[in-house]
Amino acid sequence: MFVDLSVGPSRSCNVYPGYLVNGYKFHSTTYGVNRSTQSNGVLVKGSNYADVSHDYYGVLQEVVEIEYTGIKRVVLFKCELYDPTPNHGVRTHPTLQLVEVHRSRRYNNYEPFVLAMQATQVYYLSYPSLRNERQEWLAVCCCQPKFSDEETSKDDNDQGYAENAFQDGRPTTCVVDDAIQDFNNLDDPNGTRVIVEASPSQEDNDFIVDSGDDSEEESSTSSHESEFETDDSE
């Protein structure tokens, strides 16, 4: 397993508009924009191992599924998180213990991905007030799981509703392309200097299958051979 993790995930991933996990049905913000219900609120509990731990509140943007060689798939939630700073981005009523988040303040660090299994569903409610102080804050309401753990685990094992509930047609597939890398320290230990040129045409041949005749390959091969003969003569 550690070898598979060291290699890294696949260069392609699937993106879904929603996911069913922990008894909650999550929708992305784009998917639920025209719906009467709100299912994009995400709560991630802070770590108890740190001296100061905060809960993270946000909204779900995308559901990303990545796959490692030899092990199961991993589902991540890409979220837009609110600022977790106490009394600045998040505040708690001392008596009612009601949590509020500031709608215009975001988390400064770029850490948008969380494990789907860590997510708890919440929804955000605006205050029915015309005062600016109230309009800037959203009340956080926790949701109760709609599905039991047995139903959720059964769906996960059968690869049923948990994975296929929100797949309208085919899922979106994203492919990560690596940039051209510089090749350094390729000198031969015997003293012969080796120069490698990474041209765009060579990289294109790795991804595009040529459907032309063999005559084009023969002509290109003969041209390369003539270049080598010219270099030898010089």
For residue 102, the cross-strand partners are: 137
pLDDT of residue 177: 56
Q: How far apart are CA 164 and CA 171, in angstroms?
A: 10
pLDDT tens figures, 110-149: 889 999 999 999 999 998 877 777 889 999 999 988 876 5
User: Does 65 have pLDDT greater than 80?
Assistant: yes
User: Does 165 have pLDDT greater than 60?
Assistant: no
Mean pLDDT check: name the lowest of 84-93, 98-107, 182-191, 214-223. 214-223
List C-alpha distances in Å: 38 to 35, 43, 60, 124, 167: 7, 14, 11, 8, 19
Q: Which residue in 74, 68, 73 sits closest to 2, CA to CA?
A: 68
pLDDT tens figures, 74-94: 899 999 999 999 989 999 988
Residues 23-44 have a mean pLDDT of 90
Confidence of residue 233 (pLDDT cuts 50, 70, 90): very low
Cβ-based neighbours of 52, under 8 Å, separated by 6 or more? none
Task: Kindly state the tokens that stand for 6.
Answer: 């060291």
Tokens 């120069």 correspond to 195
204 phi, psi to nearest 5 deg: -65, -35
Please report, in angstroms and rounded to a whole number, the separation of the first and last CA atoms in the chain.
55
Cβ-based neighbours of 15, under 8 Å, separated by 6 or more? 62, 63, 64, 65, 171, 172, 173, 174
Task: Kindly state the tokens that stand for 206.
Answer: 């790795």
List C-alpha distances in Å: 121 to 34, 67, 130: 19, 25, 28
Beta-carbon count within 10 A of 152 CB: 19
